[in-house]
Chains A and B, each alone.
Chain A
């Protein structure tokens, strides 16, 4: 049998002799379970200066309109506040709070809680995020239901329950002691949300929830999520992390994005993080910092795949597979350089797959590929990409040496911002 939080808290609680104690106020539960079992009942007494009793749920017998305790009133200890000892609780950490609906991939606010009652066991089954849940909280359910029924017996309001199964709910309440989010069921639900959707949710959260939610993700997903955000928000999040966690993040970030973010940070923090990065990553970032952020050099990444004209197609494929694939940002095309690192050609991966394995790269590559100078502006980059229909564009220095590559997503970001501005919240 199902019952709502709003209905339970209206009941009377009596002790084993039938003497009135108070009303149910709050519950604690094993939130890690698929359908969390209620473990403790908090009873309140009084209106303004509330006093509380905490009783283990196994001492509670649910008898129709009231809850009967199996213990006498005298055995209960009255307290002013129970939150320090029992955390999280349903009333203060779930009800009325924002949670992640991992099924619909958005943030929702909990209006009511839906319990499943089996004998004396009580389990949290759903959270109610619907309009009707809100009306129920206000105590107008019967009036409003009757009114709506008067006009339309099959109104969506009456049937659309707005219940979300607990297994799709990720609470965001933070345990003040550890600063951690209570993790729900298994992480799979959260893992299935695309990083861009998590980024959208992050923007709606306060800084503490933001940092806590980020910490629940693994490093790769942290990187994917954070790089979707505005620089300002990226900065806020990284500042909440300790230097070690931050450096792990930077290690995995594409060098161009890492550079932009590092430039936003406090000098001392940036220095500390740089000190903890691998020598290779630190060098890449240092090189990128020499360029203006709105030039080709500022957009480019130094992680790309280079081939030699003397390689065969087979060697090239092997080279890509075992040596470079994990550190390159895109895998649409590879660039061919001579012994002085001067850019002499490019080849699409598709082309590479179609050519006979023994052909020489020098014969099948596109010669003199379109490229931009590292000092060229974002506009030049966008025009060149558009003109030649490219996903990746090489950036070269004055001597023609390949310095980095620019991917279409970096340019799109700059172009969109230029054309329509940032997407505001309000």
Chain B
């Protein structure tokens, strides 16, 4: 009797086999993409569309393309090395560089956490709930969800609620934006050198390719245990996630450009941004928007502070993980809790300009991005790290252009302010 016949393994062939493996490794890329479209993302894209019309639309395609390249690199490094990016930076660049890289990551993360709580405050203000109640309650809920480990259970709920973004696509079509004009704007980059424009552009880049994302996808791949042999499927997962994120970005900007820009509305709060959904939802648009913004905010608030506390501890060699107790991992819990408390505290300042600060935090993301990205490019080009699978020439070109391009934009912006 052939013993192996008894081994129960689903072994479909060819196409179906690929589909099965793809579904098995599916997830990290798509989760990353949806956390990426967080409160900061929605705010930045809304403001970009409302204030600049179609002027920034051309940037969507190259930025999403750069995002694909960067995320593919993350997935590849995770699969090949089995280590997180923070670990790799520590092991190859030493303690000093790691410390400053982690400090930069932590600063952007404070901004991001503040943004998520701003999102919560702004969305619940539409329902008449004051931020002095909504934000502390949300912070407590987030802290408990994460520390008690129940977060994984509700993650699916958040993901499904991300279907909210579809409303922007519908609204974009209903607003009837004059597709000729949109198409023209897509292919005619309009680079202006005034400070507000550059500020907005860096914000769009920074929120689409956020520094934490470089760590996040790689760690998810490692945690999922995707090996080199399955990494080409993970690569597709990453690409699908990026394209999904890109479509959402495109339609948020189009919907806002078509509805808010002609009316000359300056987005200062959730109620203004919500008007972009008016073609679809009419006077219920603000409820719909509030729901979407709230979901995106709380989803990211559960993921980001925890993930960043984890990377920082990983890089600096402190114990980390929610399965450890507070006395085993004081730095980890300390960082995580402090991030939430500070993020919450800042938002509670009276007359805190929620939307303006949300955009600002994304600009900070953009300014920090090149510094992290460069470490990643150096690592992904090293034979002792990546072996055969190090970067090709084209991949290097795209990622270096992204890193240096953002640095150049930052320099231009700084100059144009004076």
Contact = CB atoms under 8 A, between A and B. Distances in A.
B397 interface: no
A138 B96 contact: yes
A164 to B, nearest CB: 13
A317 B90 CA distance: 59
**Which of A96, A129, A289 is packed against the most chain B CB atoms within 10 Å?**
A96
Contact of A137 (B9, B82, B96, B219): B96
Contact of B317 (A109, A233, A266): A109
A278 B190 CA distance: 74
A236 B11 contact: no
Interface in A98-114: 98, 106, 108-111
Nearest to B94: A96
Nearest to A83: B384
Nearest to A262: B7
B91 A97 contact: yes
Contacts of B82: 205-208
A109, A137, A176, A424: residue with the most chain B Cβ atoms closer than 10 Å: A109
Contacts of B152: 421, 424
A339 B157 CA distance: 58
Nearest to B3: A274
Interface in A115-154: 129, 134, 137-139
A303 to B, nearest CB: 19
B95 A289 contact: no
Residue among A83, A108, A267 facing the most chain B CB atoms (10 A cut-off): A267
B160 to A, nearest CB: 20
Interface in A254-271: 262-263, 265-267, 270-271
Contacts of A322: none
Interface in A238-279: 262-263, 265-267, 270-271, 274-275
Contacts of B306: 426
A328 interface: no
A233 B82 CA distance: 13
A286 interface: yes
B176 interface: no
Given A134-B316, A137-B94, A208-B82, A424 B149 contact: yes
A305 to B, nearest CB: 26
A262 B152 CA distance: 29
Nearest to B98: A96
B385 to A, nearest CB: 11
Given A206-B83, A289-B6, A424-B322, A134 B99 contact: yes
Given A138-B96, A233-B225, A426-B310, A206 B7 contact: no
19 contacts: A96-B90, A97-B91, A109-B316, A134-B316, A137-B99, A176-B384, A208-B82, A232-B225, A236-B225, A236-B227, A265-B9, A266-B9, A267-B7, A270-B4, A275-B3, A424-B149, A425-B223, A426-B306, A426-B321
